[in-house]
Amino acid sequence: RWYVQHIPHDLWDYDIPNPPILARVGGRKVVMHAGKDGWMYMMDAATGATIRRSDAFVPQENMWVPPDAKGILMRPGIFGGANWPPSSFSPQTGLMYIPARDRVNMATVNESAEFEAGKLFTGGSFPAIRDRPPTGLLAAVDPATGKVKWQAPTPTWTWSGTLATAGGLVFMGESNGWIRAYDATDGKVLWSFFCGAGVDGSPVTYELDGRQYIAVPAGGIRYAQLKGNAILIFALPSTGR
């Protein structure tokens, strides 16, 4: 029916793996999408017409500088911005909650690199910068205005998705083993729990016998500091029903 290309002639691996979100904003049915480039895009769901691009939700340096053999500092790097961990949207607050990364790297081109079928081919390399370790943050973006409402930094980068609940909470895990609940309106941390392994999967919520629960995997992907093999389940406070 339609398509939109956010990054024409992409030389920076700014592909768009973050799952799109369908919602109503200002009475209009829209598709919202957070990019690895550090911006959130909002499009008309029926036509694909771009409505707006948000302010940057992560720091940006050397955007659109083509990589070369010497190397170009790239921020957000290829692992930065909004990668595959899903964002979430709350109709109550009208905000989109993006799990984001600030991962600076060098982008280099190797002219002699040759493609081999079945093997990873990048045509260069993207090493991290030793004295600039990756960090993460939870960004709340207002799609109605494109403004970043608030940001909550994390000590390490995060590969967990976000979960916004009707109770005014946003849950997000961290690769250092913590899961946290944030106030959806201002980003204040309201609760934290150490899971023993990288919380690099997305939390989910469900109801059983009138009680609400939060479940999250703690296993750690290859980028995690801590490895494990567990699913943790938490019960929200009872309402007395």
Active-site entry in 13, 15, 55, 183:
13
Assess whether 13 carries a catalytic annotation.
Answer: yes
Residues in the chain, overall count: 241
d(C-alpha 63, C-alpha 52), whole Å = 19
CB atoms within 10 A of CB 216: 25
Q: Which residues contact 173 (CB under 8 A, 6 or more apart)?
A: 158, 160, 179, 180, 195, 198, 199, 200, 201, 203, 216, 218
* Greatest alpha-carbon span in the chain: 68
Burial of residue 210 (number of CB atoms within 10 Å: 0-12, 13-18, 19+) = exposed
Say how many CA atoms lie within 13 Å of 214 toward its Cβ.
Answer: 25
SS3 content of the chain, % helix, strand, coil (to 5): 0, 40, 60
Q: Are 82 and 36 in contact (CB under 8 A)?
A: yes
Catalytic residue list: 13
